[in-house]
Amino acid sequence: MCMKDVEVKNQVGLHARPATFFIQKANEYKSSIWVEKEERRVNAKSLLGILSLGIVGGANIRIIADGSDEQLAVDGLVKLVEGGFSE
């Protein structure tokens, strides 16, 4: 299992558009992937799950992956979040 904490850089957080980018990226990996915010954990491949966390700009989240490509998954998703989803 691999995990890393990251701060959401874009101002509006993970609303519908960046959440969709995040999910598309998560679906590129075989590993099971979760996003955690304040003790709540959701499937990173679920739009409703991600949106239910109410992640706003400046929030800290934890990305967790477990599987054959877990390190690649965490690194790829952290890079996407740190890059502000190209917004």
Structural domain boundaries enclosing 40: 2-86
Residue 87 pLDDT > 60 = no
Percent of the chain residues topping a pLDDT of 90: 84
Contacts with 85 (C-beta within 8 Å, 6 or more apart), sequence order? 10, 17, 18, 21, 22
Residue 11 pLDDT > 60 = yes
- Which of these is catalytic: 9, 15, 56, 78? 15
Q: How many domains does the chain have?
A: 1
Place of tokens 């995040």: 22
- Residue 49's CATH number: 3.30.1340.10
Give catalytic status of residue 15 as yes or no: yes
In this prediction, residues 80-85 reach a mean pLDDT of 88
How many other CB atoms sit within 10 Å of the CB of residue 51?
A: 15
